[in-house]
Amino acid sequence: MKLVVSEEVREALGARRPVVALESTIIAHGLPRPRNLLVARELEEAVRQEGAVPATIAVLDGRPHVGLDKEQLERVATEDGIRKLGHRDLPLAVARAASGATTVSATALLAALAGVRVFATGGLGGVHREWTVTQDESADLGLLARTRITVVCAGVKSILDVPATLQRLETLGVAVAGYRTDRFPGFYLSDSGHPVDWTLDDPEQVAAVMRAQDTLDGPPSALVVANPVPEAEQLDPALHARVLADALHACEAEGITGQAVTPFLLERLVRLTDGASLNANLAAVRGNVRLAARIAAARAGA
């Protein structure tokens, strides 16, 4: 599986300049058109404003790309039939010459293979509610347990089982630190209601942890930097609790199961909050992208 690394990203890596990986699922599947393309461009520009090079990742015609040009970015945002690819799907997509947007697990894997150490996303996948019945757990967790990358995120989506996800990350040996907080964020919410054991206060501290990972040379697991959405931009907690409860009840009543659960709940959240959940999502992503660029710059300048 030969990676296609863009010239800009390749030159930045060769010169040890900061690079930030960006997933493409939010472009192809997370936002409506044409807003998705505008946001994709905005996020890449935010990385540049912080002095780093953006590396949006996707698979096009069976070729994994780390860094997209203008036309390729537009293709991911506008082409019908773009698949959603986790890391398990990559060999299939390559062999079948398919095109797809990469989830957290696929983006993290391809970024690490290309030598990109910092990755910004919205929220991680995790352990689903009623895990004891469904055994439903995101592939993100296992992949991060064996991939040396720093992921800046706003925690995990509140539709998941947050304490079980934190326990699973601990079991898998994935380091988790709150950024300027001792609380684990809840994606749409600044505080999921659960604590974290470690707090990092600036990009230089994050870069120091990354260097310590390399020095210790332990298992190649990730560092999760949990960066909360600002309180002023979070979804109203009371509205969130009410709508989520209604969505979970509707999911059960309609017999929604398996992979259909997450898109069903997220669509209900967007619709029943009049788009406020989407606005909180985007606020979180914007903050994560800027912080990731500052972390990459701190590591490059060390």
> What token pair was written down for 21?
């990986």
Report, in angstroms and rounded to the nearest whole number, the Rg of the chain calculated over CA atoms.
Answer: 18
For 139, other C-beta atoms within 10 Å of its C-beta total 16
To which H or E segment does residue 94 belong?
Answer: helix 90-95
Whether 196 contacts 178, CB under 8 Å: yes
Cα separation, 210 vs 215, in Å, equals 9
Cis before 54? omega within 30: no
The answer to whether 157 is a known catalytic residue is yes
The backbone region for 149, taken as left when phi is positive above 0, alpha when psi lies in -120 to 50, beta otherwise, is beta
* Token pair 């998941």 in the structure block, residue: 160
Q: Which of 44, 50, 137, 157 is catalytic?
A: 157
Q: Which of 8, 11, 23, 204 is catalytic?
A: 23
Q: Where are the alpha helices (DSSP H) in 135-255?
A: 139-144, 162-172, 203-216, 237-253
Cα separation, 82 vs 214, in Å, equals 36
Q: Which residues are the active-site residues? A: 23, 157
